[in-house]
């Protein structure tokens, strides 16, 4: 039987990272949601689930129906953001087949997994389940989740890869001129 597509081995690493992020993200969200008191019929945003290290870190439920920090939420945003995230994940999946840089592959996998983890929430719940609350530090007022963290770390790695590959290209060009 002939393979449908010739996907490079390194691209499979990105897909593996993405799958790991999706699984960890969804398991942590299921764990958090299972801790909500069954007598609560409508879970309010800001519902304190557990004081972990008060006041620095708590588990606090928020259903974010927008993008970062709740911007552009409500109405059809659920579906628009879901489609946008699926397109981004698709573009990243193709990009993974066209690179051989390990740092870039890691970044692609993290962003792809985070985006898809949040899409699952948007489809299931109408918004993204956020619960990691470091607002007590006074430095970071937002509540987020594992998928958001993966996207953030992935973007930082994308920038780092861009800077490193640009530097390598300049060093290579300088060696050729001498």
pLDDT tens track for 20-67: 999 999 999 999 888 776 655 567 677 777 788 888 899 888 888 866
Q: What are phi and psi of 39, to 5 degrees?
A: -75, -10
Looking at the chain, how many residues does it have? 178
Nearest to 22 by CA among 124, 159, 104, 134: 124
Residue 178: pLDDT band (50, 70, 90) is very low
Contact status, residue 143 vs residue 62, Cβ threshold 8 Å? yes
Residues taking part in catalysis: 130, 148
pLDDT tens track for 79-96: 888 999 999 999 999 999
């Amino acid at each position: 039987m002939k393979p449908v597509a010739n996907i490079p081995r390194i691209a499979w690493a990105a897909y593996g990272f993405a799958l790991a992020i999706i699984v960890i993200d969804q398991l942590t969200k299921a764990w958090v949601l299972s801790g909500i008191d069954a007598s609560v019929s409508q879970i309010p945003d800001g519902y304190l689930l557990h004081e972990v290290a008060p006041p620095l870190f708590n588990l606090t439920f928020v259903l974010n129906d927008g993008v970062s920090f709740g911007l552009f939420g409500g109405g059809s945003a659920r579906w628009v953001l879901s489609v946008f995230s699926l397109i981004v994940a698709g573009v990243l999946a193709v990009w993974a087949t066209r690179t051989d840089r390990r740092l870039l592959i890691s970044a692609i996998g993290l962003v792809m997994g985070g985006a898809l983890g949040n899409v699952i929430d948007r489809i299931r719940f109408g918004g993204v389940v956020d619960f990691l609350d470091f607002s007590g530090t006074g430095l970071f007022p937002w509540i987020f989740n594992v998928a958001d963290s993966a996207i953030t770390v992935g973007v930082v790695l994308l920038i780092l890869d861009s800077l490193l590959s640009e530097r390598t290209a300049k060093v290579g060009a300088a060696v050729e001129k001498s």
